[in-house]
Structure 1
Amino acid sequence: PQRLSTAAGWRAWHLQDTVFRTPRSELWLKLSTDEAPLNPRDATPHVVLTLLGRVITDALNETAYLAEQASLYLRISTQSYGLDVCVGGFSHKLPVLLEAGLKECLSFGDAEMWARRCSDQAFRRRLHAQREQLLRAYQNAYLKPGDHAADLRRVLIMPH
């Protein structure tokens, strides 16, 4: 890949598809807090951030499905520094999909919008469903010995 920009706060790379030469792109945005990365010894912020990522993904479900039908994709994932927003697919519609994803992410930071969502019964049901799914995922996390060993390895190599 060829580095296009080294501006402060972001990096841009380009790699031409030499096999199919299709106009595809992938864009990653790393949304981070001003604070240090999440402390691995304090699970609460990580759990809340993971739940937020799941709720945003759920809110974008219809948009993501329609995008998938057009050979595009939108993913929100939780990291130790915040959230990753990834969009990809055919280049000409990526800005529209990215805008939809970012608007949804930003709406969760708006107190007035958050209050409106919390008063909506359907949103509260979806939030509760996401919470239950996350609880089940955490409860089932150590049922597979390989996952347990991998997690213990990560804990051991994390800086203290």
Structure 2
Amino acid sequence: MVGLFLSCFCILLKAPNHLLFYLCTYQFLDGFAECLREILGLLFTYIQLLQQSGVSQWIFDELSSICETKFHYQDKTQPISYSVDIASNMQIYATKDWLVGSSLPSKFSPAILQKAIDELCPTNVRIFWESKKFEGKTDKVEPWYSTAYSLEKLTKFTIQEWMQCLPNVKLNLPAPNVFIPTDFSLKDSRDKNGLPVLLRKSLFSRLWYKPETTFSIPKAYVKIDFNCPLAVNSPDTSALTGIFIRLLMDYLNEFAYDAKKAGLYYGLRQSDNGFELTLAGFNHKLRILLETVIQKIANFEVKPDRFSVIKETVTKAYQNYKFIQPNHQAKYYCSLVLQDQAWPWTEELDALSHLEAQDLAKSVPVMLSRTFL
């Protein structure tokens, strides 16, 4: 089932009249959109698991801890944005909660929470299905952008089928979030001038450290530059490195939600000489995230189904290069001329056509064996 998706995410949307919509978005591979009914069946199976398990106070306490941490250590916002937020809160919350109402949770109310969860059912769902397969098969046109569309009611059989979904042993409620910080103490830095210090130097790496002496917040920023001579020395290796980075991000998705909710960030990007890893957030649990990412890099394995998904995504991205804004294209080609080892997107697109999962499996160990940090 995982191999069917290009991406999936869920968000809460606020609408007028104090309405809330829980939006789940799925992007499928070409040719697999017919699995939509099965996917929605799994979604409602998980919702039923949540409804039957009841409201857990430990989850509420965990989310409360996250909200309090983000509120007390939030970055400075623009005055106009802050004013708009407070003005919005004034329409909803009591006077004493204008500053914190939208940031900090109220008291634990399991009955209210359970009532909200129970509203997530097949009889309250609205499905938007966008696909080229419907071209020429629609019977309506919306007046503003002339978008063609159709409206259909869900059949009683489909609703009943989703309401009577059988339990799935592979679905589980989330485990406690290991990335939530609890220690916000500051490290005592003897070096008050704030200059970078070389802590370690070897044949394979250099470790620099710069203390933060301005804002005095318990956060850290880590950047690791993987200098890999064999990562971009040809269109083939450059294309494979791009897929390698996207696959790593794909594999790390199982940790991404917990890390982001706890105020941690990580990112991987292809560089001129290899790739870069960036981590930022609360210092207390940042090491756990760093070790998790490094383990994924060191024990990297190619999953053929995910390779196919990422390869299709990268191929479409290259094919769309010709449609980007002219000024962006000009900057791209200027950058291409100025770089020593850079390949036109057309050459990397041609390389993708004959690259397979086994090529990446052979390439990664060789690339990492010649890496300087």
Name the TM-score, length of structure 1 as normaliser: 0.80
Distance 1:105 1:130 in 2: 17
Give the superposition deviation at 1:135.
Answer: 0.5
Distance 1:130 1:17 in 2: 42
Which stretch shifts more, 58-67 or 78-87?
A: 78-87
Distance 1:89 1:103 in 2: 19
Per-residue CA deviations over 1:49-95 (Å, capped at 9, x if unaligned) read: 00000001000012122100000011111112222111110001011
Between Structure 1 and Structure 2, the one with more helix by share is 1
**Secondary structure of the residue that 1:129 maps to in structure 2?**
helix
Give the superposition deviation at 1:150.
Answer: 1.0
- Answer yes or no: is the 8 Å Cα contact 2:232–2:241 preserved in 1: no
Aligned equivalent of 2:337: 156
Aligned equivalent of 2:169: none
Letter matched to residue 138 of structure 1: Y
Indicate the structure (1 or 2) with the bigger Cα radius of gyration. 2
Aligned equivalent of 2:196: 3
Distance 2:340 2:306 in 1: 36
Structure 1: 5+ residue stretches without partners:
109-113, 118-122
The match for 1:27 among 222, 234, 252 is: 222
Is 1:146 the counterpart of 2:327 in the alignment? yes
Q: Alignment length, in residue pairs?
A: 144
Is 1:64 the counterpart of 2:245 in the alignment? no
The match for 2:275 among 72, 79, 83 is: 83
**RMSD value, Cα:** 2.0
Is 1:130 the counterpart of 2:314 in the alignment? no
Distance 1:86 1:57 in 2: 12
If asked which structure has higher relative contact order (CA below 8 Å, sep 6+), I would say 1
Distance 1:105 1:37 in 2: 14
Distance 1:124 1:142 in 2: 29
- Answer yes or no: is the 8 Å Cα contact 1:37–1:80 preserved in 2: no
- Answer yes or no: is the 8 Å Cα contact 1:74–1:86 preserved in 2: yes
Is 1:98 the counterpart of 2:98 in the alignment? no
Distance 1:37 1:44 in 2: 9
- Answer yes or no: is the 8 Å Cα contact 2:225–2:276 preserved in 1: yes
The match for 1:16 among 195, 212, 232 is: 212
CA separation of 1:150 and 1:27: change in aligned 2, threshold 3 A: same
Give the superposition deviation at 1:17.
Answer: 5.4
User: What percent identity do the matched residue pairs reach?
Assistant: 22
Distance 2:332 2:319 in 1: 14
**Secondary structure of the residue that 2:196 maps to in structure 1?**
strand
Distance 1:59 1:131 in 2: 15
Give the superposition deviation at 1:37.
Answer: 6.7
- Answer yes or no: is the 8 Å Cα contact 1:6–1:12 preserved in 2: yes
Give the superposition deviation at 1:6.
Answer: 5.9
Name the TM-score, length of structure 2 as normaliser: 0.36
Distance 1:94 1:28 in 2: 12
